Chain A
Amino acid sequence: MKNLLSNPQLVLVSRVFIGLLFIVSSLDKIVDPSAFARAVVNYGLLPSWMPAIIATILPWVELLCGFAVLFGVLLRGSSLLLSTMLALFTLAVISALLRGLDISCGCFTQDPAAGHIGWMKVVQNTTLFVLTLFLYFSDTTKFSIIEYLQKSETA
């Protein structure tokens, strides 16, 4: 396990994958926060004043964390935020499925024609959750901006 956590290639691949994924998924939400707010409302879990605020802030958290993970800056903070968010999303999807709600996810696209949530979404989110946890516990700064800065300092 220790080896895995400090394997620079594995960490790099995970960083690029998670980083790009969250950057891409944030864009649709940033472009149309109202559609994202409606998707949040559809889950029926939050008091009425919250979805608008979530739709204002959360896409930017995704975007910033996406870039942070991609470049390896603030990696611990961003991967902690992403894993917390993924855990909450997954719980929301599970609760919606258990209540028999037939709603669209609001995850990657705000297109209402996109598919609705299913148990596959739970599996997908759980996988991403594990990956972000892996990044949180990883302890290599190889291929990151941090490493680049440290190198140029010592040079």
Chain B
Amino acid sequence: MTRLLQALREAGMLLLVAAALGFIYTAATEKGMFAHLPPVPPSQTGGLLAPAMISRDQAQAYYESGTAVFVDARHEFDFKLGHIRRAINIPLRMYETKKSILDAIPKNRLLIAYCDGAECNSSIELSVKLAKDGYTDVKIFFGGWSEWTASNLPTDKTP
């Protein structure tokens, strides 16, 4: 019993010293939890905040109201296999060449960007590009294709 008490006392001491050293060292060297994350250069976002994210329920409501255009950021191949009904496809990597399909859409129309879901970020990047190009009402459906199909909502295939 005395062995355990002595060990616990020593262990507590070691823990305290280690914690103090750890915090002092990482703070002094600005590593780990004290690291400064590089600020995002304004040129990447056009000075705009990233567009708002919407839930599956909101996405469904916008879909049913017919007020929104869904923009699929995924690769063309995935889009052909299946996409949200009436969505248009602008793969993020081909944004510059494909964005002309948006020409017919008024700048104040609600655009909802999506991609696969939680595993991808291209919906966010696409939405930032759309906002930079002057679309004033852009939202992100971050749950994307995986949430949409999981809820059995309307989809289309391109033959």
Q: Is the CB of A61 within 8 A of B10?
A: no
Asked if A33 is an interface residue, CB under 8 A from chain B, the answer is yes
Asked if B61 is an interface residue, CB under 8 A from chain A, the answer is no
Binding site for A on B (CB under 8 A): 3, 6-15, 17-19, 21-23, 25-26, 31-33, 35
The 7 closest A-B pairs by CB, nearest first: A77-B10, A33-B32, A76-B7, A60-B18, A52-B33, A77-B11, A61-B18
Return chain A residues, CB-CB under 8 Å to B12.
77
Partner of B17, one of A33, A56, A59, A64: A64
Q: What is the minimal beta-carbon distance from B23 to any residue of chain A, in angstroms?
A: 6
Q: Is the CB of A76 within 8 A of B18?
A: no
Output the nearest chain B residue to A37 by Cβ-Cβ distance. Answer: B32
Bound CA span A58–B6, Å: 21
Q: A30-B25, A59-B22 are in contact. Are A78 and B10 (CB under 8 A)?
A: yes
Interface residues on A, range: 20 to 34
Interface hits, A33-87 → B, CB 8 Å: 33-34, 36-37, 52-53, 55-61, 63-65, 68, 74, 76-81
Bound CA span A84–B59, Å: 49
Q: A60-B25, A136-B7 are in contact. Are A55 and B13 (CB under 8 A)?
A: no
Q: Is the CB of A34 within 8 A of B18?
A: no
Asked if A32 is an interface residue, CB under 8 A from chain B, the answer is yes
Q: Is the CB of B11 within 8 A of A81?
A: yes
Return chain B residues, CB-CB under 8 Å to A55.
32-33
Bound CA span A55–B26, Å: 10
Output the nearest chain B residue to A65 by Cβ-Cβ distance. Answer: B14
Partner of A34, one of B14, B25, B35: B35
Partner of A76, one of B3, B23, B25, B32: B3
Q: Is the CB of B31 within 8 A of A33?
A: yes
Interface hits, A114-128 → B, CB 8 Å: none
Partner of B33, one of A56, A61, A76, A77: A56
Q: A61-B18, A76-B3 are in contact. Are A56 and B10 (CB under 8 A)?
A: no
Return chain B residues, CB-CB under 8 Å to A136.
7
Q: Is the CB of B33 within 8 A of A81?
A: no
Q: What is the minimal beta-carbon distance from A69 to any residue of chain B, in angstroms?
A: 11
Known contacts A32-B31, A56-B23; can you find 15 more A-B pairs with CB under 8 A?
A34-B31, A52-B33, A53-B33, A55-B33, A56-B19, A59-B22, A60-B22, A60-B25, A61-B18, A64-B17, A64-B18, A74-B10, A77-B9, A79-B7, A80-B10
Q: Is the CB of B3 within 8 A of A60?
A: no
Q: What is the minimal beta-carbon distance from B140 to any residue of chain A, in angstroms?
A: 22
Partner of B22, one of A56, A68, A76: A56
Bound CA span A77–B10, Å: 4
